Structure formats: C-alpha cells, structure tokens
Amino acid sequence: MLGQSLVNAHPECLEGAVRRVVGRRSPGEFQHQRQQLSAPTTTKRRVGYKRGELLGWCICRQVLQFPQLSVTEVISASGENMAVEYEVTIFTVESLPSWSLYKSLSITLEGTKGKSDPTCYRKFNLPLFGSSEIKFPLKCNADLGHLLDIKLEHYWSTPFHSPWYHVKVEVESPIGSIFKFPIHQSISSGKEYFFREGKAMLPQKEKNEELIKHRQTEIKDQQKVYGWKVYEEGMPHCLEADTPPVDETFSLCKGVELLVTGAWEEFKLTWTQHSEHMDALRNLDQVEDLLKQKLTKKSEYIMNNWKKDSFFGSQFLNGLNPMVIRRIDSLPKNLSVKDDMVIPNSSDTLKCEMQKGNIFLCDYSILDGVEANTINGKKQYLTAPLVLLHKNQKDEMMPIAIQLKQKPGQDNPVFFPSDSENDWLLAKLYVRSADFNLHELNYHLLRTHLLAEVFAVSLKRNLPRVHPVHKILIRHTHDTLQINVLARQKLISKDGIFTKFTASGGEGMITLLGKSLSNLTYSSLCIPDDIEDRGLGDVKNFYYKEDGLKLWKIMHSFVKETLSYYYEEDCDVKEDDELQNWIKEISVHGFLKETKTENPDKNTTGDQPHTGNTENPEKNTTGDQPHTGNTENPEKNTTGDQPHTGNTENPEKNTTGDQPHTGNTENPEKNTTGDQPHTGNTENPEKSTTGDQPHTGNTEKNPEKSTTGDQPHTGNTEIPQRFETKEELFKFVTMVMFTCSAQHSAVNTGQYDFYGWMPNGPSTMQEPPPTKKGTVTETTIIKALPDIPIITEGMTTVWLLSMQAHDSSFLPDFKQKYFTENIPCDKIRIFQERLLKLSKQIKKRNKGLGLSYTYLDPKLVENSVSI
C-alpha cells in the first residue's frame, strides 16, 4: 500500500509508485498505463486489475491532479485506512556463540514528517555463527516522509550473551524507495543506538536540530570510550584501555588463528633446537636447520644470496627498510673517506661519481648513544654505521665503504670490499643488525603502528559516522587498536618479547622511539615528498618507489574526487569544526605538539607551552619541545612578499623570492613554476620515475643535510595543526590512508622473508665491533651473532608479524559499505579498477625478477595495521 508523500513528484518518481502497485511493470508498459489514468475506474476493473492496483491508479491520478496533496491525504480522500507499511531488513553477523533462546529487537523510524512507534521483533534459533538477514514489516499510522534516522534497542533472554554485530539496516518505503543505514557496529543489550541514513554530511551543513543533537551526543559518547593515555615519555599517546572496545577486537577466526599459529611455530623451532642440542651458535648450518622448519621461496633465495654485495645494496631500495638511503653530492665530515678515492671496479673517483649523482649514503646516526640491551645476563651491541653506496653502470647499488661508528678514530676503521672476506662480511653484518633495529622501532612500530593508532583514536573521538572523512578512513583502522594493545602487553613491554631478542630492547627502545619522533617530518610520511627530499626520483630498479608513487597517486585521486563532493570550497574545510578537532588531536597526541591559541592566524611566535593531554592534563609530560613556527599555513612562514620555496629542512634559506618552487609539500599539485622537475608530483607520480630526470634531493643548498637521514628536527614544524584548504585536507587524508595500508605493508609483510634467515638481519650482536682490520675469522663472526634461543625467539616473532589472517581485507576490498550516495560509490568503483590494474602491472613486472617485490601489490596490501 502506498504511504510516502508524492508532493511535487515528477513523472519519473510516479513511475516507481505505479510499478509497485501494478506488479512492477516495465517503463514501456508504464507509459501506456499513464495514458489511461483519466479512464473510468470501471474500465480498469474490467481489464482485471486487483483492488490494490486500482487504489494505486486512483492515488496516482489524484496526485497528478492535485500535486499539493500527500499520499496519505489522497488515501484518506479515497476512504481507505491511512496506515502505511515499511519493510525493514536487518543484516547481522554472529561472530561468537549465542546462548540466548531469542533476541528481542526494537526499532523506531524517524522521518521528516514524524516518528513511528517502537516495533518489537523477536528472533528464535539464530545461527551460532555467520551472517543472517532479518525481514519484518513495520506499520505506521501515517507517512513519515524522508527517513532520517533509526533507533535500535536489543534485549536478551539470558545474561550469557555476546554483542550482536549489525552490518546495516535497509528500510523500503511503501512506494519502493530504499533507505540505507550503515551500522557496522556491535549492539549491546539494554542500550539505545541511533543511526543516520547513509548520506554523508558536514557539521556546518546540518539543518535538522534533532540530527545535530544526535551528532553531538555520538561524539560525547565516543570520547568516553576512546580516551588518551601517555604510555611512555616522548612516544605518541595511545588508547586508554587495557582491553579495546568490543568493536575493535579481533574476529574469533583471527584470534584463534594467531594463537594456534604462534604456539605451533614456536613449538617446532624449540623442538628442533632441543632435539639437535642447540644452544650456542656453532655454525650457520644450525640456522639453516631452523629455517627449514618454515622455508619460503623468498627466504630460501635470501639464504643463498645474502653474502653478495649486490643483494646487500639492493635491500636499501627493495628490502624491508627503503627509508634510510639518500643521494649525496658531498661526503659527511665524520666519514673517514677521501673524495679522491677510486671507485671499486671503476676508473672514476668518488668526487667524480658524486657529481654524476651516483653516490648514496645510509647514515644510522640516530642509533648513536642508544643504550644496548642485556639479554640473559650478557651485554649486547648496537652500532651506528655509515654506509657508502655506488650506483654502477648496471644500476646496481653496490656498497663501497662501511664505517661502524659515527666518530672517526684509529679504533674505528673504514671497511672496503677490497679488505679480507671476513672483515667485509662482519662489517656488513653489523650494518644489517643496525638496520633491523632502526627498521623495527622507527619505520615499523612508530611510523605505522603508533601513528595509525593516533589517527584511529582521534577519528573515533571527533568524527561521527556521518562525516565523510570518517567514512573514507574508517576501514583503515580495522583491528589497529587491538593489535597495538597486544603489542604493548606482549611485545614492547618491559619484559616483552622485543626485550628478549633485540639489541634495542629495554631502555634503548624508549630512547630510540623518542629520538625518532622528534626527527619525524610530515614530508617523510608522504612518499612523493620523501622520495624527492632524498634525491631518489630517477633511481632505477627501485620498486618501493615505483609501486608506492603509483599507489599514492591512485589514493590521492580517490580522496580528492570523493571529498570534493562534500567540500566544494576551501571555506568548507575551515568551517568544519569536527575536522579541525580531528587534526588538532592528532598533532597534540600523535606528534606531541603544543596547542595553538584560538586565533591561529596570529600565532606565529611559537612561544606558547605545549598543553599535551587535553583529556588529562596531569599526564601531560611531553611539553618540553619548543614550537618552531606556524605549522598551519607553511606558505606564510616567510618574510615579506617572498614566495615559499618548500625547503622545509632549512627554512632560513626560504627567503629568495626569485627561486622556483620545487617542493611544495602542502600542495604538490600546484608545483608548476620553474623549470626544475618535481619528482613528488602526486597527480602524476609516474613522471617521477623516469631515468632522464636529474636528482632533486635538495643536495645543492645544504650538502650536510643531504648526508644524514635522521638529523634532529625540533618541533615537527611541518605537521599541520589546522586545515586551511581542500588540498591540505586531501593530502593529509591520503597520507593517513597510505600509512595505514601501503606503508605498513612495505615495512611489515616481508619480515619473515628477509629476517627468517637470521644472518641477513641479526636482531642483536653479542660482541663489540672490530677495532682493527685483519683480525676477523669465521669463529669471530659466529661468536658475534646471536645464540640459538635468541634466533628462535626472533624467527617466531617475525613469522607471526608477517602472517595475514584468512579474513584479512585488502585495498580493493570494500566489504563494509559506508557511503550510500551514487557519486561516492562510483568513485569507489573507479578506485577499485585502478588498484586492480596496478596489481596486474606489478605481477607482470615481477615475472622477470629473481626476487619479486610484492609488498605494494594492492591485492596483497591489507587495508589497515592489523598485525
């Protein structure tokens, strides 16, 4: 029976109504039927229309004649009962056993013309697991108009139950209109839940007072559940909970899988260790025996090639940590190498090759001063090496010099490939150990796990479900809070696993994380800017760069095209208080920046103290970092009318008005001035990978800066505290999406591939680095490597961290649908098509590689930091 108003309806709208009451006839049939609207009722009755169809014709005819009337008024005038009926469909998932005989559900519909009475529905014999659909009619005394929201309440027959996960609710109106209410949330017994119709809405464009109230209530409720806590000084703040909220916990399948897999792998390795009477490492054959318990194609390749210089160098591009290497045009002062040194297997000098852009540096200075761990009562060792690399004519990255400590001296020799085989191999082992520790704590834990948690908690606290930024980012927070809670309890705690097998465990971990956060820059989180800053735009066979830039471009296009539907002008961004609160909390609790005054445009002195934890001021212990500039609008951080040239590493040089803008990290799309190529163009990143472009790594203006990857960077001045333009928003949202998915995949998924064979990534070294050349023997090398129990612990850990659960969700997957409007849904479809196209390109390229690079294949990149 018809029930929704057809006031001012167009013929196209009437078509849906007529089709419903006459059996959903085709458009052609409808055109013929519409011509008969003026025919006598008896004529229709003679041709066999049922009574309900007859009523439909009467209603449509009268609405055409009197468009000011509502359907209910037409029904009333026709002498029919005004009651109308909606069809409700609830899509649910049972993830845990339910011991209840039945579940009682109460639903209330609210529309522009009124509210329905609560309607109860009882469901018997629900399945223990799996998804289900519940359909039932909901009768109203009058037409509710356009549906705005629904209220859900659940009641259980026994006290032993689990929350009931709702995917979505669909309501079909009497004229066939479908209203979709995305939920994707667990519903507990005895509570009221309000859910909006799926259309995304900015807060300043909200007009309905009731919806505004629901929006504000949701934020307040979420802030009670998702609080901030200081875990350790100098680290990003985390969720204030020992157990994450129910919607943040693993699925039963994933929880069991992790538990069983971890226990089984540890048992196999431990059994092999004891059955072979292994304790102290005697030779590398013992490590091979352990690896064979879980040998993969890639780990076997690495076991067979780890000693080769070409493979050693390639890992700085396509290994687990492609984040340290940078191009240099002058040598660091603390590296005891002369620029007239002749390159191995070449007649050119180091100076000549630097001028050609063929010399690169990996500087681990950030590890200098980090206290090494003590494991099983034995002191461990962690070096801070400098590694010089040369790109040869085959485009191979070859190591040409290694200095194991930062301060030059007679007890700190520089090792070369021409030294004895054992000397050179041991030097490379210390480098691989340093890279392991820096990778795990800085580039893996801090830059993906901890930042992803900050993004997620701030999202939950400040952006309601109806907000478009919430809808676009929520899938990138899946399982992040649960995995980080477990990490704090089991992995990085004082007596956690990390302390048991790594050189940087214990106090050193806190020191290194603090130094890493203070050195972190916004541009280093955005791969186009990061590649440009490190001068790597034209480096060939750099698959992290090639795949990463393409992925960034695809993501940025999706974000820009989708959010532009809601943010039409820059003022829409400025006026979005929820959005500004989101970025403000990220800045304060993630990057430990001081808060701004209420008038940010005037806050250019940076003298205000950091207020830290806004929820719990007593816990604010991170306020000692000075604020070094206006981070809201970097373009304004120059004197007079001079343009901003983008040198964020050395702002004192951003004062010449005639220089072209080569590195605008706030708005790369506008980087069109000057003749210098821009390798970080997010709109067309493929152009950043052509070999004909000169390197643009900011090595001319500040040579010293280009030699060290982790110079102290006080205050994180690049990190925004506010959004002033759409482009700033699009870039930041892309960064969050990329960090939580692609970047985490790049530094996490291959851990067992590269670290399963322990000599390729020793988690610790048990002897101090050599102080003389010519003294290293094979026994010296074995003695310096970790003992078997440490190796076993490390192999089990990296295996678990590398695994993907069977219910994992990957970039092209949109299992949970949050957007309901046609335009955003179309953008999602285009996004998926682009991702699948890139996946095919990567698979095709990998067929020709000895060691395939799969970590940024969209079909293998998980949506979130979930492991």
Nearest to 244, CA basis, from 423, 437, 500, 487: 487
> Which residues pair with residue 131 across a beta bridge?
93
**Has 10 been labeled as part of a binding site?**
no
Longest dimension (CA), the chain: 111
3-state secondary structure of 137: strand
Q: Are 104 and 120 in contact (CB under 8 A)?
A: yes
Spatial neighbors of 195 by CB under 8 A, at least 6 apart, are 149, 150, 152, 169, 181, 182, 183, 465
For 158, the token pair is: 């026994």
Q: Which of 259, 826, 771 is nearest to 490 (CA)?
A: 259
Number of Cβ atoms within 10 Å of the Cβ of 358 = 21
**Spatial distance between the Cα atoms of 67 and 60, rounded to a whole number of angstroms:** 10
Q: Find residue 862's DSSP bridge partners.
A: 810
Beta bridge partners of 390: 359, 398
Q: How many CB atoms lie within 10 A of CB 421?
A: 11
d(CA 43, CA 45): 5
Helices (H), 330-418: 350-355
Within a 13 Å sphere around the CA of 273, how many CA atoms are in the beta-carbon half?
Answer: 18
Residues of 720-741 as b/e, b for ≥16 C-beta within 10 angstroms?
A: bbbbbbbbbbbbbbbbbbbbbb
> Are 290 and 795 in contact, with CB atoms under 8 Å apart?
yes
In angstroms, rounded to a whole number, what is the distance separating the alpha carbons of residues 853 and 846? 7
Cα first-last separation, the chain: 51
d(CA 287, CA 415) in angstroms, rounded, equals 26
β-pair partners for 402: 387, 415
Is 449 among the annotated ligand-binding positions? yes
Give Cβ neighbours of residue 798 (< 8 Å, ≥ 6 apart). Answer: 751, 752, 755, 756
Q: What is the C-alpha to C-alpha distance for residues 261 and 84, in angstroms, rounded to an integer?
A: 55
Phi/psi at 740 (5° precision): -75, -15
Residue 176 backbone class (left: φ over 0; alpha: ψ -120 to 50; beta: rest): left
In order, the DSSP letters of 699-735 are -SS-TTGGG-TT---TT-TTS-SS--SHHHHHHHHHH
Task: Tell me which residue of 843, 846, 848, 845 sits closest to 858, measured CA to CA.
Answer: 843
- Reference 150, options 97, 187, 99, 204; nearest CA is 187
Helix (H, G, I), strand (E, B) or coil at 455: helix
Phi and psi at residue 136, in whole multiples of 5°? -160, 155
- 472 annotated ligand binder: no
Nearest residue to 286 (alpha-carbon basis) of 301, 302, 298, 303: 303
Residue 855: what residue type? Y
| Listed residue (466, 492, 459) closest to 225, CA to CA | 459
Task: For residue 791, count other CB atoms closer than 10 A to its CB.
Answer: 24
- Nearest by Cα to 690 from 507, 549, 853: 549
The DSSP 8-state label assigned to residue 636 in this structure reads: G
Question: Could you tell me the CA-to-CA distances from 454 to 95, 224, 749 in Å, in that order?
Answer: 27, 16, 21
Strands (E), 404-523: 414-415
744 annotated ligand binder: yes
Residues making up the annotated binding site are: 444, 449, 744, 867
Residues making up the annotated binding site for Fe cation are: 444, 449, 744, 867
